[in-house]
Amino acid sequence: MATISAVWVPTENGSSSSLVGPGGDSGAIRIGKRQLFRIWTDNPSGLSINFGDATVSAPTSSSYSIGTVPQDFDMGDLYSYLRLVNNSSISSANYYILGLSKF
């Protein structure tokens, strides 16, 4: 297993949060290419996530899911947007995005 050999620190202008209602969709969220970020939700059911360009498609219930434990992503050279869907038909979900940079 690989070991991360970098320390990531929050960027000065890279934090955001919002609420997605039951069955709701965040729409396209621009992160930017080659950007590091941390994302999590307060909904124990999680949020489905998809990556793409400005017309990123909505994720389905079988897409990768983010949960209450923060996860770190690197957008790389291919994608600059993400989109979240709350597949729970019962509860709303707050999501939190924190921009990171290598220290």
Angle at 97 between CA 50 and CA 60, to 5 degrees: 20
pLDDT at position 1 is: 54
Summarize pLDDT for 55-91 with one digit per residue, the tens.
999 998 889 999 999 999 999 999 999 999 998 877 8
Mean pLDDT across 3-12:
59
Q: Residue ranges per domain, the chain?
A: 15-102
pLDDT at position 54 is: 93
Summarize pLDDT for 39-48 with one digit per residue, the tens.
999 988 889 9
Model pTM score = 0.82
Superfamily of domain 15-102: Jelly Rolls (2.60.120.10)
Angle at 60 between CA 91 and CA 15, to 5 degrees: 65
11 — pLDDT class (breaks 50, 70, 90):
low
